[in-house]
Every structure is written in C-alpha cells, then in structure tokens.
Amino acid sequence: MGRPAELAIRVGWYLIKNRVLLRKKRFPLVTMLEPLEACNLACEGCGRIREYESVIHREMTTEECMAAVKEAGAPVVTIAGGEPTIWKHLPELVRRLVAQRKFVFCCTNGLLMGKLFKEIPPSKYFAWVVHLDGTGAHHDKSVSRTGVYAIAMRNAQKAVELGYRACSNTTLFSGSSPEDLHSLWRKTTDMGFEGAMLTAGYDYQSVPNQQLFLKRKAAVEVFRKVLDPTATQGIRFYNNPLYLQFLRGERSYKTCTAWSNPTYTVLGWRNPCYPLADAHSQELSDLMKDSVWDRYGNAEKDSRCANCMMHCGFESTTILGAFSNPKDAVTMVRSGALTRSGMTAG
Ligand code: SF4
Ligand code: SF4
C-alpha cells in the first residue's frame, strides 16, 4: 500500500482553507499525541524519558486523546511518546481516529509492533513510523541496546508484507555516518517503505551527553553529505524538497512555525513546542498567541532555538512559505512533494 493520494488532497485543501480562505495566522497542521512518556528503551539522546521522569507512570485515556485531536482539528495525527506500543489503549485510539478518517502516524522503536498486527488492521489512514538511526550497530548504539535494529527491521518487514504503510524516522546526531544512512534508506526503500523521514537532533538540556548534538553549522555540513543528490539517487524521502534544502543550508527562514505541530502530553499541550516545554497549557489556543511567538522561534528571541532545525519546527515553515512564493510552490509540485512530502514529526 503506497502513500494515499487522499492525504495530499485533504492536507492541501486544509491548508488552502485555513491560510487563504479563513486567513488564519496560526493553526495546527499535525496533532502530536504523547499518551505516555514511558518507554521500553532508554536512548542516550532522548529528552522525553528524562524531562517527564516525575510523571513517567502517567498515561492518558483514549477520551483525552480524542478530545485533544478534536480541539486541534488537524487532518494528520501522530502518536508518539514514550513508546506508544506499550500503551494499552493504542488499538482503540487508532480505530477511532481511522473511523474519523484522520491520517495516523504511529512512531515506534519497532520492538513490539508485531504484537499489534492482529489488533490494528492495515489501512490507508494508518502508517507505522519506525525509529531507525542507522543500520546494525549504528542504530543499536543510538538506542543504547544491542539487537534492537534486527528486531525493528524484522517487524517492519512483516508489517510491509501484511499491507501496512511504513516509513522510517531518522535523527541526525554527531556520530551519524552518511554512508551508513544511505545503506539504511536503500534497504528500507527496497523493503517497500513509503519514505525516509529525516530530522536534526535537538540539544535537549535534560540529556547529560551534549556532545551527541551537532551545532547548526556542523549539522549543515553533515546534512550536505547525507543528502548528496548523487549518493541518495533512488531513495524516497518523506520530507519535502524545500525542507531538505533547508537542512543542506541552501535556504533559511526567519522563524520556525512550530505552532503548526502542537504536542499534547500527559501534562497538557507543550508550550511553546515539541522540543521546548517551558510550560504546559490546558488550552491549545494559548499556543497560538502572539505573546508566545514574540518570545520563541529563532536565536534572537531565545538562545535555545539557535541550533534547532527540527522538522516539527521547520518543515511546515517551508510548506507555508511556498504559499507566498510561487517559485517554491513550483519546486514542491515538480518534485512530486504533493505525493511524498512529510507532515509528521517526532
Ligand atoms: S525509543 Fe524514542 S521514546 Fe524511547 S527512549 Fe528512545 S527516543 Fe525516547
Ligand atoms: S526554533 Fe525554537 S520554538 Fe521553534 S521548534 Fe525549534 S526550539 Fe521550538
């Protein structure tokens, strides 16, 4: 099963309706749910399991998740965490979201997804997003446990054979090897994945080993090698071409648009964004205020934004920017981004 045309059509219409017809300044494009922050892994670069340590036992109900999705109104929903496959309500939540024709992306480390194949049927509205930071030992090092890559790939292969939509999600850290990533993405492309999602690692202050994270200038140097057009020939990326150009340092943006990817957690909506949680809000409208975005979105406003190139902050910036720049819009269309570009985050 490939990426459904309905996804591009519905997201395209949603964007036109909100940006052009209703002239909304800010609105959610993707609702990101974190129904629990607990995980069966403890990756060295993970901010979540550290930030939420004091509430790691907490879980959301399906009703809370559905209410957050309704409040946001976005056509795309990601379910992450923590590890959502250890949350007992995942099959019920997916069923209810799919019944509402939401496009659901479930982000997983791949260890337990095989156990859910009986409970979550394949659907054009549902995709597994498998966390893969490299092949074999590269990935196992990133997730701090031997053998995870083999299990995740076995489960992902089975998922594709069963007819599920599947993508990979890779975070770039200081030790990432461009050659190894090319090899990973060739494998997953051959396996039948819809595409590879790529994002820059964020320097979470809660992570003790800050050496893991690349500063923006160094990240751009590595992204140039990782996204070398010759070396990546034939690889399907899920991110749109403008975002990939941004990662290679070929375009810049004044500010992120992280308000388009609001994240609902066990404590409420992360305020202001997926990487930063200076507060948690109970009302989503709090995240759409000028008073928030006067303080965040680039290094001039907040030094913690200096190295951020995350797709949850900037992929939507590239998409929304194309609305006011016909040349960028043409680039998106000609590259096939309408049928391939990523809207998810994590
Ligand atoms: S698998 Fe994901 S949620 Fe779990 S520890 Fe690793 S990065 Fe964090
Ligand atoms: S640039 Fe700043 S506000 Fe925007 S997503 Fe990154 S950390 Fe968040």
Q: Whose CA is nearest to atom 2 of ligand 2?
A: 305
Ligand 1 neighbour 139 (Cβ under 6 A): no
pLDDT at 221: 95
pLDDT at 21: 94
What are 133-151's pLDDT values in tens digits?
999 999 999 999 999 999 9
Mean pLDDT score across all residues of the chain: 93
pLDDT at 346: 37
Which ligand lies nearest to the CA atom of residue 133 in the structure? Answer: 1
CA of 21 to the centre of ligand 2 (A): 27
Ligand 1 neighbour 39 (Cβ under 6 A): yes
CA of 271 to the centre of ligand 2 (A): 10
Number of domains in the chain: 1
Atom of ligand 2 nearest to the CA of 256: 4
Interstrand relation of 263-265 and 268-272 (parallel, antiparallel or unpaired): antiparallel
pLDDT at 175: 87
Ligand 1 neighbour 220 (Cβ under 6 A): no
Which ligand lies nearest to the CA atom of residue 43 in the structure? Answer: 1
pLDDT at 1: 66
> What is 67-99 written as a DSSP string?
HHHHHH--SEEEE-SS-GGGSTTHHHHHHHHHH
Report the number of secondary-structure helices (H) and strands (E) in the chain: 13, 9
Q: What is the mean pLDDT of residues 327-341?
A: 67
Give the residue numbers spanning the domain of 318.
5-344
CA of 45 to the centre of ligand 1 (A): 8
Is residue 10 within a helix (H) or strand (E), and if so which, with residue range?
helix 5-15
Res 47 pLDDT > 60: yes
Ligand 1 neighbour 49 (Cβ under 6 A): yes
Atom of ligand 2 nearest to the CA of 302: 2
Domain of 204: which CATH number? Answer: 3.20.20.70
CA of 210 to the centre of ligand 2 (A): 18
* 43 half-sphere exposure, CB direction, 13 A CA radius: 26
Best mutation site among 202, 205, 273, 316 for ligand 2 pocket (most ligand atoms within 8 Å of CB): 273
What are 246-282's pLDDT values in tens digits?
999 999 999 999 999 999 999 999 999 999 999 999 9
What are 206-238's pLDDT values in tens digits?
898 998 889 999 999 999 999 999 999 999 999
Res 343 pLDDT > 70: no
What are 177-199's pLDDT values in tens digits?
999 999 999 999 999 999 999 98
Res 98 pLDDT > 50: yes
User: Between these two residues, 326 and 81, which has the higher pLDDT value?
Assistant: 81
247 vs 183: CA distance, rounded Å: 20
Res 337 pLDDT > 70: no
Residues with CB under 6 A from ligand 2: 256, 258, 272-273, 275-276, 296-297, 304-305, 308, 310, 313
Distances (CA, A) of 199 to 24, 57, 171, 243: 27, 28, 5, 10
Q: E strands within the chain?
A: 30-33, 76-79, 103-108, 126-131, 165-172, 195-200, 263-265, 268-272, 277-281
